[in-house]
Amino acid sequence: MQDPVLLTSLVQKAQQANQEVQQYFSTLSFDQLNWRPAPLAWSIGQCLDHLVVSDLHYFPTLKQIAVGQYEMKPWEKWNPLRGMFGKMLVLSMQEQPKKKYRAPRIFLPDEQPLQPVTLLERFTKHQDSLVGYLQAFHRTDLDHIQITSPASRLVTYSLRHALIVLLQHQYRHINQARRVENHADFPRLGES
């Protein structure tokens, strides 16, 4: 079914996510952006990079749908568990996590230190693309179109669930980045 109300809400959330990223993180230094609270924990930069990296795996499919060239594969049409996967993803990918999940390998952020200006420009460009796709879906049946997860060819879910998860995922990691920034040992400007 078409759902312009949901899409308008998701567009607003995507735009707000970009505004929050710019507001909270645009003044961070290189050291602050790349500081990790623990050796295996992600930095603020890695949280943001992870969002871009993971979403980019969805973008080719979203582009095909937006321009009307997407054809569902037989497994996407007939997967008996497709409704279950989407609902599970929406429940598991809450903005305020109840449980930590390990990101699939293809979604991992860069291990190299990230440059603040480059990363923030990349994030903004990424958000603009996402908003463009969301706006293109106003006449799209979000429940009929099924897509395959970039992380597993066995997992399929509706476009509706995919879009909801993408935005929940963004806020999940923006919130994670805020927790890093609020960590007691986070390097503050003027500290030596």
Residue 170, CB half-sphere, CA atoms under 13 Å: how many? 25
> 152-158 and 146-149 as β-strands: parallel, antiparallel, unpaired?
antiparallel
Q: Where are the domains positioned within the chain? A: 4-181
Mean pLDDT of the chain: 93
Asked if pLDDT for residue 192 goes beyond 50, the answer is: no
Instruction: Strands of the chain (E only): list them.
Output: 146-149, 152-158
Q: Which CATH architecture has domain 4-181?
A: Up-down Bundle (1.20)
- What average pLDDT does range 5-24 have in this prediction? 97
Using one digit for the tens of pLDDT, what is the confidence trace for 76-118?
999 888 778 888 888 878 777 677 778 888 899 989 999 999 9
Predicted TM-score (pTM) of this structure? 0.92
